[in-house]
Amino acid sequence: MTDDASVADEPDTRALDDLLDDIFRGQERVTQGEIYRRAVAAELPPDLLARIDALPEGEYAVDEASDLLGGTVA
């Protein structure tokens, strides 16, 4: 038996990872508001928008944002 079921149950983080890569290109820290605005403009799914909206206000490094949002960017 393979472990394909566990892979199927994991959320697809490609859209989030691509967004974070784009936002943090050339920047060390970005505000929660900027991440949210860029996510809306990129038309991310509502569940991802809700996660981003739930982040506390402040600035985040890419690894912090990725960890908090469930992405894989480091």
pTM over 0.85: no
Encode pLDDT of 23-62 as tens digits: 999 999 999 999 999 999 999 999 999 999 999 999 999 9
Q: What are 16's two structure tokens?
A: 């989030």
**Residue 68 burial (10 A CB sphere; 0-12, 13-18, 19+):** middle
pLDDT at 73: 79
Task: Name the strand (E) or helix (H) holding 13.
Answer: none
Query: Side chain identity at 45, as an amino acid letter?
Result: P
Query: Side chain identity at 38, as an amino acid letter?
Result: R
Domain range list for the chain: 12-69
Confidence band, pLDDT 50/70/90 cuts, at residue 13:
confident
Confidence band, pLDDT 50/70/90 cuts, at residue 72:
confident
In 3-state terms the chain splits into helix, strand, coil percentages (rounded to 5) of 55, 5, 40
